[in-house]
Copies of this chain bind each other. A is one copy, B any other.
């Protein structure tokens, strides 16, 4: 079953010469010749935590900082993020390290808090929250769109089309694993979609090996495989104390592990003509 390419307009490579390179601020670009790494904790837990992690991932080569202030959780009784306070801490980490920040939006009513955020993330559960996509399409700000757990590549690109159809062309796609019968990993990382997406669209596409596998020990090999598959970057969960993380500790690597991974990524990216 082929992709139905006729359904694509703004996202189609046929209608756009060359690769889209999204400038996310601080001199950092995603797409084209660049290999870009976003790193940081699942959620912002305290100012000290986010600043410390930001410093260490920057030192190891990360180009941007991730961290959740608003967290989508299956249970209403689970930690939902520090919200406005988390945003403050993120911006503090940005001002100290200069790293552009990437954080998730769950409600367009919160948009005021995102004014100084560099990249707004749409999580997997909201990939087909079309009303949110349209609102984000009216902004002039990079959007990181994650693939839904049960969404096809066709639907993924159509959701990017929702954003672009409203005028915002700064869309970064992110594969983060799909739901299958295999439960030994949190999700099943679908790397085959990377070259398919690169063929079909000019938009950059990155990989989230942390959510895809849910297992910290698999983050390194899946990061390497992602580079080799032709991805434009990675978004990796790094935590300075995974065992006590408020969220997703099992899939977070230590700053020291990130440094090793980062060095190896650089070597592999070089083989593919990518600049890390």
Binding site for B on A (CB under 8 A): 1-3, 7, 9, 72-77, 106-109, 125-126, 128-131, 134, 148-150, 152-155, 158-159, 161-162, 165, 178-185, 188-196, 199, 212-213, 215, 217-218, 221-222, 224-230, 264, 267-268, 271-272
Contact = CB atoms under 8 A, between A and B. Distances in A.
9 contacts: A1-B184, A73-B130, A74-B154, A74-B159, A178-B188, A191-B225, A199-B217, A221-B229, A224-B229
Contacts of A195: 217-218, 221-222
Nearest to A148: B150
Contacts of A264: 271
A2 B73 CA distance: 20
Contacts of A191: 189, 191, 222, 225
A250 to B, nearest CB: 11
Nearest to A105: B131
Contacts of A193: 182, 184-185
